[in-house]
Structure 1
Amino acid sequence: MRKLKIIEHISLDGVIQHTDDGGNFPYGDWTPPYRTPEGRDAVLAAYGESFDLLLGRHTYDLWSDFWPKAPSSPMADRLCAATKFVATHRPESLDWGPFEDLGQDIVEGVRRVKSEDGPDLVLSGSSTLTSTLLEHGLADEVVLIVYPVLLGTGKRFFADGTPAQSFELASTQPMPSGIVIITYRTAGPFTL
C-alpha cells in the first residue's frame, strides 16, 4: 500500500497561499527570501527520489503552467515525471502528464490509488483536499515547511470544519535561514 504524505510551505500563522489568484492577497511568492541550497536539498529529500502527485485542480493548473517550462532540475524533473492524480470535474482538459482523474468520488479514488502498487503519493497546495484526506484517515504524514513570517491574511492550510486530529512528531530539521521542516505522522482523531 502506498503512503500518502502532505507537504506544505506554510507561514507561522498557517498561510499557504503563494499567488494572488485574482483576490486581494498582497504577499505573492513570499518564500524566496528564505530559500537556500540546504533548504532545497531538504525539501527534495522530503519528497523522495520517486513519487506520484495528488493534486487539486487549482494546484494542478498552477503547476502545469510552471513546471513543464521550468529549467531541468531535480525538483522539476521529478514533478514532471510523476503521475498526477487530479481531483477535477474537467478531466478532458488535463494535459500535463502523465495524469489520471481521481473520478467523481475523490475519497474512493484516493483509496483506490493508495491500494495500488507504485511510489508513495505527495499532496501539496490544496487545503480543501488536505482536509478531506485527513477527515477520512487517508493521509499518513504531514510535512510542514514552516517559514519565520506572519502574513495575517491568505488561504490557510486547513479548511474551516476540518475534524480535530492528533499527530505524532516524527522529526524536526531547522535550516540556517530560519525555516523549520517538521514531519508529523497522523495518529487519528483528537480526544481529550
Structure 2
Amino acid sequence: MEHVSLDGVIQHENGEGFVHGDWTTPYRSPAGLEAVMEAQGDVFDLLLGRRTYDLWTGYWPNAGGSPIGKSINAATKYVATHRPDSLEWGPVGNLGADVIEGIRSVKSTDGPDLIVWGSSTLTSVLLNHGLADEVVLMVYPVLLGRGKRFFSDTADPRELAFVSTKTTPTGVLINTYRHVGALPKPV
C-alpha cells in the first residue's frame, strides 16, 4: 500500500532537496480513511524496511487512539534490517539474515495478511521475487516533480492486472492491482 503522486513520488518527509513533506494532508477525508481501513482490514501484520520502521516508531506508538493506529500498533512488524536487536516497537517478528527467505516463511503461515507501507526499496524486491500479491496505490491529484519514487530506475519491469478502484471526495483514487509477473517482451 502506498500514497503516490500522479508523477510517482511517494516521499513524505522533507530532506535531501525535497520540500513538499506532508503533501497528502490536504486530501485526507473520513471516506479516504474508511477506504484505507477496508483495503488493509482490521487485523494484519506489517513488512517494513528499517528506515520506514524507524520513522514510524516516532509517530504510531503515540497514535493508538484511532482505528488505524490501534491496528498498526497491534500488528506484528517484520523489519528488513541488519540490526534486529535494536527493534523496540513491537510486537516484532524476525525475518532472519536472508530477508527473501524470511518473507517466504512468514507468507507460508496461516497468519493475517502481510502489508507493506512505504519501504520503496523493499517493494521492488518483493515484486521481483514474486512475493507481492497485490499493489494498492492511493493516487493523489498532485504533481511533485521530484522526490523518492514508487519504483527506482533500476527496478525490473512488472505487469499488474487492474482489480478495482475507489474515489474519495478529495480526488484520491485508491487503485488495487494484482501482481502478474515480469513484463512480457514484445514480439
> Where on the TM-score scale, by shorter chain, does this alignment land: which range?
over 0.9
Cα distance in 2 between the residues matched to 1:96 and 1:47: 20
Which residue does the alignment assign to 1:173? 166
Supply the AA of the counterpart residue of 1:10: V
CA offsets 1:12-55 (integer angstroms, 9 cap, x no match): 000000002x4221101000100010001001111111100000
Which residue does the alignment assign to 1:3? none
Please list, as runs of the form range in 1=range in 2, the aligned pairs for 1:12-91 lying within 5 A after superposition: 12-20=6-14, 22-91=15-84
Which aligned segments of 4 or more residues in structure 1 are displaced greater than 6 angstroms? none
Pair 71,138 (structure 1): closer, same or farther in 2 beyond 3 Å: closer
Which residue does the alignment assign to 1:104? 97
Cα distance in 2 between the residues matched to 1:43 and 1:79: 12
Deviates more, 1:158-167 or 1:75-84: 158-167
The secondary structure found in structure 1 opposite 2:61 is helix
CA offsets 1:82-136 (integer angstroms, 9 cap, x no match): 0000001111110000002312211111101100120010001011100000000
- The alignment-based identity, stated in percent, is 60
CA offsets 1:59-102 (integer angstroms, 9 cap, x no match): 00011110001150100000000000000111111000000231
Q: Mind listing any 5+ residue stretches in structure 1 that lack a counterpart?
A: 1-6
Cα distance, 1:151 vs structure 2: 0.1
Supply the AA of the counterpart residue of 1:103: G
The secondary structure found in structure 2 opposite 1:181 is strand
Equivalent residues of 1:88, 1:101 under 8 A apart = no
Deviates more, 1:69-78 or 1:81-90: 69-78
The TM-score, its normalising length taken from structure 2, stands at: 0.97
Cα distance, 1:160 vs structure 2: 2.2
The TM-score, its normalising length taken from structure 1, stands at: 0.94
